[in-house]
Structure formats: C-alpha cells, structure tokens
Structure 1
Amino acid sequence: MKVLIAGGAGFIGSTVASACSDAGITPVILDNLVTGRREFARGKAFYEGDIADGALIDRVFEEHPDIEAVVHCAALIVVPDSVGDPVGYYRANVAKSLEFVAHLLRNGCSRMIFSSSASIYREGDDLTVDESSPIDAKSPYARTKAVCEAMFADIAASQPIKILSLRYFNPIGADPKMRTGLQLRHPSHALGKMIQAMENGSEFCVTGTTYGTRDGSGIRDYVHVWDLASAHVAALTRFDSLLTDEDPSLAINLGTGTGTTVKELVEAFNSVADTPISAIETDARPGDVVGAYTRSDRAERLLGWRAEYSIVDGIRHSLQWATVRDTLLADSGQSR
C-alpha cells in the first residue's frame, strides 16, 4: 500500500510516516514546511508545497498513481495563535482543506483519514466524552476542526470518497527510535514548557487553576504520539471494513481513557527528569479550556487499537528527543 501524508513533515505526520514505513506501507510526503521540517521527510518521496495547490496534487498522483489513501495532517494547531489570527486559521485549516479534497476527488482518491481533535467536544459533567458527545468547540482552532468534519461528512455523503476522522486527544512523546519529534525547540504545550523550564532553570506556569477538576488545574488525556501513529496504521489497513456507501464518514476518538491534570503532569515529569522543576499558578491563556478525556472503546472495537505507552514513557521520550533535536535539525540556534 502507498499513502499520501499531507503535513507529513510535521510532528504527528512524520511519526505516522515512520509507523507506516515500519508496517510496510509506503508514505509519500506533502508539506509546505511552514511548521514541518525537511529533515523529517528524508529518505521518502517528498513534495514541498501546499494542499490547495491543484497542479501539485495532480503531479503527485500522476507520479504515484498507486496511492490508495490520504492522511490529512496539514493544519495550524496553536490555540492562542488561532484566537489572535482567526482569519489565518480558517484559511489554512478550512479553506485549503476544501480545495484539497476537491483535488483528491479529481484524482480519483476515495479514502481519506483526517486528523481531527478532541477539542471540538463539550465536556460532560465528569469531564469525559465519547464520539456522541455534543460538539461545542471553544477556540477558533477547535472550530476549524469541527467545521472540517462537518464539511467532509457532507462531501462524503454524495461524492466518491469516504472519510475517517480521528479525534486526537493530547499528543506527547516522540518516535521511540528518535527519528522524529516535536520540531519546535520551544513548543507551547504543557510538556514542552516543562522541558523549557528545566533547561532554563525557570518556573513552570500552571495556566488556570480554578477549573472544576480534582486540583483546579486543566485536565487532559495525554496520548503518546507513537500510539497515535499506530492507530493510523490500523485505520489504513481496516479502512474498507469501517466505512461503507451507506455510512461514508466516521469519527473515532484516540486517547488513553485516563485524565491527567496539569499538576499531576508536573509530578510525573519530576519523577522522570534529572532536574525537577517548580511550578507557579497563573491565569488561563486565551482559548484555554478545562479539558476532557475519552471514555470510548470505539477505537479498540473497530481498530483493534489501544494506547500502549504510559505518560511516563511519553515524558521520557520527550526528554530524550530534547537532547538529540539540535543534532538532527539544522537550526539548533533558533526557536522554530
């Protein structure tokens, strides 16, 4: 099998590409390198460009007519940035995705896996969600994912393409073989900020401590990125059994089923890190929400998948990646 991975030079897309290669699936990478890294596509068929570039998509399919499916990971993903630049986020995540699926249809591509997000949900009273939970996205970023899912479902209902949306919870970790990891030297998510605090000898800010959780800090379902990548492999191999002409679109949650608060993540970090960090409490950032975790077994039932790596594994692999990143990526002195 050969698959096109849009956004395949980014953190998740590149890990999916490695998991595919390990499983005997040949990845073809498409990435505009706005946040992706050329190094992550090394050794693979790679096209630099935009998902909205119809001529480029045509060329990819002309040169790889045996592509059987597409994994669509191309998106901007930073919640506070989406609050500050909603136009840019809707253009990149929604408008370009619409153009992309039109190009796929023109080239006869009938299978797409969409990287969606659990941030689209309204959390339940117990802070858990499943695939039937109400959609109530709280940030422009999350709304772009919800809009795309609805748009793709409408398209799949009448066009010759089936679309599986995988709703990620909170990815952590790195490829256990250290081929790829977070490309940003200073990522904005909690674990990235903890590593930065450890490296700088500074305090870690727990942003938001008045939520209705057991300790007041936000709660997340932290899932190892390699587990996410393995779920994509399972989805690719089982795709035709999951979607039918009668039900051409489907969503599946990808999480561990365990909620971890930010304060608990700090404790887990300090159990692994050589240099423990201290934390201070601050106000929530624009777009921050209390969070949620999955209670669904749909992924295990339909994909035969469940998360195998623990939070401690994810932290350990993230710390290991931080020590090798600058030797693997060319811009060791830059923040990108």
Structure 2
Amino acid sequence: MKKVLITGGAGFIGSTVASALLDRGIVPVVLDDLSKGRAEFVEGRVFYRGDIADAALVDRIFAEHPEIDATVHCAAKIVVPESVARPLHYYRENVAKTVELLDSLQRNGCTRVVFSSSASIYAPTPDALVDESSPVEANSPYARTKQMMEQVLQDWTRGEGAERQRVITLRYFNPIGADPQLRTGLQDLNPTHALGKLIEAHGTGAPFTVTGVDWPTRDGSGIRDYIHVQDLAEAHVAALLRFDGVLAPDAADRYRVINLGTGDGTTVRELIAAFEQAVGAKLDVREAGPRPGDVIGCYAAVDTARELLGWKPERGIAEGVADALAWRAKWAAHLGA
C-alpha cells in the first residue's frame, strides 16, 4: 500500500491515523475543510483543503495521486449537544456528504474504504458489554448519523455498479491521549468528556463529582471504554494492511463491522485513580446519585479485532492520561493560552 486518502485527516483521530501511516512508510493524502481540524496538523503532509462533497476536488486528488489504494473516512461532525440543536446540519454534513463522497470514490475506482464509526450507536446492555452483534439503538442525532452512514456504506457495497466496493467499519467509544510523539492531539483545550472535567478540576481546584455509585460494576461507578488514540490509529492501519484478508475482492459479503476498545472498560473511579497517579495529587472527589438519563455505560468486546486485524490495545489508561496532559501543555503553549 503506497498512499491512503484520509477525509478529516486534520482532526484528532484522522491526524493520528495519518502519523501512524507515515510511521509505516505509507503516504497519507489528507482532505479536510479545517472547520474543526487544524492546519498545524497537516504541515509537511499532502493536504487538500475542501469539502468531501466537492466532486471536482476529489477527482483532482485521484488524478494527482493515482497510487491511492484506499480511503479512511473520518470526516464528520461529532458534538452531541450541537447535533440535538442542529439536526439538519448533522444529517447534511455527515450523511448527505458521505453519499457524494462515495459516488466520487466509486467513479475513481477506489474499492477499499475504512469507516471511522462510533460504538455510541449500540443499545445499552445489562452487563455493559457490547459486541458486533449487539442491538443498535442510536439515541442522538449525531449517533443516528453514524448509524445511517453505516447503512449507506453497507447498501453501497451491494448496489449496482459497486461489485468491487468493500467497507470495513470500525466502531469505538472514547479516544483519549495524543500521538505519543506529540505531533497532534485534541484541538480543544477544555474537552467536555470525563477526562476533560478531571483536568479542569485539577487546574481550578473545583470538586469532581461521581454521579452514580451503585451500578453493577467492579466498584459501583459507571463504566466507559477509554482507548488511547494511538491504539485506535494503529487499528486503522491494521485494517488497511489486512483489508484484502478481511474482505477478499471476490467476497460475497463486502461489508464488515469490527469493534475497537480495551476489552474490559474503565470505571469512573479507575479513571480518577489513573489521573491522580499521573498528576501526583489527590482531587476533591464527591459522590452523588445518577442524573436523569444516566446509564451504566458500555465497553466493547474486541475478540473480532484480535482475530481479523491481529490488533490489541497496547497502552493503558494511565498512559492515555499522561499523553493527554503532555499534549495539553504543549498545545496551550502553542496557542498562548
């Protein structure tokens, strides 16, 4: 494999995938409109600024880089509250523009696609564990766009004129950390996920509240699947390198879903302990009952990824916290914050 097109390759995950490809001697060709991605994340890389639905631009990319062997589709709007407030914007950006992109890929003979999806589309389960056969029940416009994009991709592999199109969909929950070489990381200095709130609590001295302490988990707190973004990136690379083994060109079924995760999840208390270890200080941690709508959470079974991709997560939660903190310090200095 010589070159790979990465849509959204100037974002958190896409840029880390691009770095992992470069480390393997594969050239990433990045397409990003920089609405959320950062120009700093594509410095020195093959980069096209524009929209994934711009057919003329995608045609030019393939004309100038005929060695592109596959596409990694990471481009998407991903903020859940924004998706609730602006659902039509999310359906247009994530679903409608993906349709246009796929039309361009098919026209240019790009037969391999790795789709960066989300395990947020799974329905809650009693034991919090989900595998690829678990029921799907997306509960936000953002998650529903991911579910719809998956359906579009699956139908695309079965449609007229798409006899050779194949798609591997990777579902995962909560990426944390940063590129270990600190080439890229989260664009936002103050993310709203649990780790971001821990960083905020540490910086301001405000208390961190564990909401719900009686869940049927190892320690009573809710559980999530926090996976190091570098492990995710390497899984994307593994999917590309093993693509024809997972989905042979003559396969009857040309669509495959693979979960990515830690395999056992991380409870809120475990995340706090890892954070306190990384910063060398105790936080003011308080407990409260679950908020309306809170659930136990989910984590992903990763047996399929081990079997088909030869992949398993190599970095623990403590390393993810440490890399997130190191990146935040570097990025804050860069931004002058």
| Amino acid corresponding to residue 262 of structure 1 in structure 2 | V
Distance 2:34 2:210 in 1: 31
Distance 2:58 2:294 in 1: 35
Aligned twin of 1:163 = 167
Distance 1:198 1:180, change over 3 A: same
1:89-139 Cα offsets, whole Å, 9 max, x none, are 212111111111111111111111000011111132211011011111122
1:154-203 Cα offsets, whole Å, 9 max, x none, are 00112131111000121111111111111111111111221122222222
Shift of 1:80: 2.2
Distance 2:131 2:59 in 1: 37
Corresponding pairs, count: 331
Distance 1:289 1:182, change over 3 A: farther
Distance 1:88 1:214 in 2: 40
Distance 1:225 1:146 in 2: 22
What are the residue-to-residue correspondences of 1:1-336 with 2, within 5 Å? 1-158=2-159, 159=162, 160-206=164-210, 213=217, 217-244=221-248, 245-281=251-287, 289-328=295-334, 331-333=335-337
Kept in 2: contact 1:27–1:44 (CA 8 A): yes
TM-score (norm 2): 0.92
Unaligned 5+ segments in structure 2 are none
Unaligned 5+ segments in structure 1 are none
| Amino acid corresponding to residue 49 of structure 1 in structure 2 | G
Shift of 1:88: 1.7
Distance 1:188 1:288 in 2: 16
Tell me which moved more, 56-65 or 11-20.
56-65
Distance 1:326 1:157, change over 3 A: same
Note the aligned Cα RMSD (angstroms): 2.0
Kept in 1: contact 2:262–2:302 (CA 8 A): no
Tell me which moved more, 115-124 or 304-313.
115-124
| Amino acid corresponding to residue 34 of structure 2 in structure 1 | L
| Helix, strand or coil at the partner of 2:155 | helix
| Amino acid corresponding to residue 255 of structure 2 in structure 1 | S
| Helix, strand or coil at the partner of 1:258 | coil
Kept in 2: contact 1:129–1:296 (CA 8 A): no
Kept in 2: contact 1:80–1:286 (CA 8 A): no
Shift of 1:218: 3.0
Shift of 1:213: 4.2
Distance 2:195 2:82 in 1: 18
Kept in 1: contact 2:213–2:288 (CA 8 A): yes
Shift of 1:281: 4.9
Shift of 1:284: 6.9
Distance 1:151 1:273, change over 3 A: same
| Helix, strand or coil at the partner of 2:258 | strand
Shift of 1:272: 1.5
How much identity, in percent, do the aligned residues show? 56
